[in-house]
Amino acid sequence: MTRGAPDRRATSTDLDDLGLAVAVPDRIERVVSLVPSLTESVARSAPGLLVGATDWCGEPPGLEVTRIRGTKNPDLAAIVALAPDLVLANAEENRAPDLTALRDAGLAVWVTAPTTVDGALHSLDRMLRLACRLQRPPWWEQARALWSAPPPPGPRRRALIPVWRRPWMAVGRDTFTGDVLRRLGVDNVLADADQRYPRFDPATVPPHDLVVLPDEPYAFSPTDGPEAFTAPAVCVSGRLLTWYGPSLVAARTELAAALAR
């Protein structure tokens, strides 16, 4: 594959979250995002900068860009044809061979990989300022202030957080989602698992007093999921629980309210 637009002179080389050097052009005018949360982050910060996003990028509503299929099966030729100055990706959401192919095509690829709320805010700050050449947006400042508060008072709870069914999979060690809940007074019972998203048997999980069911990546709902568990279950927005970006502004208050029901 050959990049369609002439190269712009890179004025700096910075390291992304993987520690990979990315030569960032001096002017960023065309961005392709391979991750819904990063799409929202850029679109809310600099409307018009995005030229391509996945089919799953639904925020903000009405975003008019070229769609390049999904996070796991992006249309690489279509991405190259868009001639982006920058491609945004995530180590968990996107496949390494796809990102390598985009780099081999001459594109600057910036990969995020946060596993905590603080890490996500730091990662977003670097991505927006160093990679996208933007000023720190107001929503980032709001999110940082909100998430600097201590956990709510009261006893802590222990929760199982499924993310998939058939087979059952849940949030395990070292995840952004687990840290979000920890900051809201809810500890993940599988935080010491060997894997970040281990399989589990609902009948043999460690003792817990709550099941948190996000509506993505599996679309858990009040009629699909709670019936498999004896502990009380609460259905929450996957965007609020698993995305990092402008959603962090509403996430703390809305998730805390949902968990308190």
Tens digit of each residue's pLDDT, the chain (261 residues): 444 444 555 568 999 999 999 999 989 999 999 999 999 999 999 999 999 999 999 999 999 999 999 999 999 999 999 999 999 999 999 999 999 999 999 999 999 999 999 999 999 999 999 999 999 999 999 999 999 999 888 899 999 999 999 999 999 999 999 999 999 999 999 999 999 999 999 999 999 999 999 999 999 999 999 999 999 999 999 999 999 999 999 999 999 999 987
In total, how many domains does the chain have? 2
What is the model's pLDDT at position 10? 55
Q: Is residue 2 part of a domain?
A: no
From CA 70, how far away is CA 54, in angstroms rounded? 5
The pTM of this model reads: 0.92
Residue 122 and residue 36 in one domain = yes
Q: Which amino acid is at 186?
A: V
From CA 31, how far away is CA 97, in angstroms rounded? 20
Q: Is residue 1 part of a domain?
A: no
Residue 156, Cα to own-chain centre: how many angstroms?
26
Containing structural domain, residue 106: 10-145
How far CA 75 is from CA of 69, 79, 188, in Å, comes to: 6, 6, 36
Q: Is residue 203 part of a domain?
A: yes
Q: Is residue 161 part of a domain?
A: yes
Residue 36 and residue 132 in one domain = yes
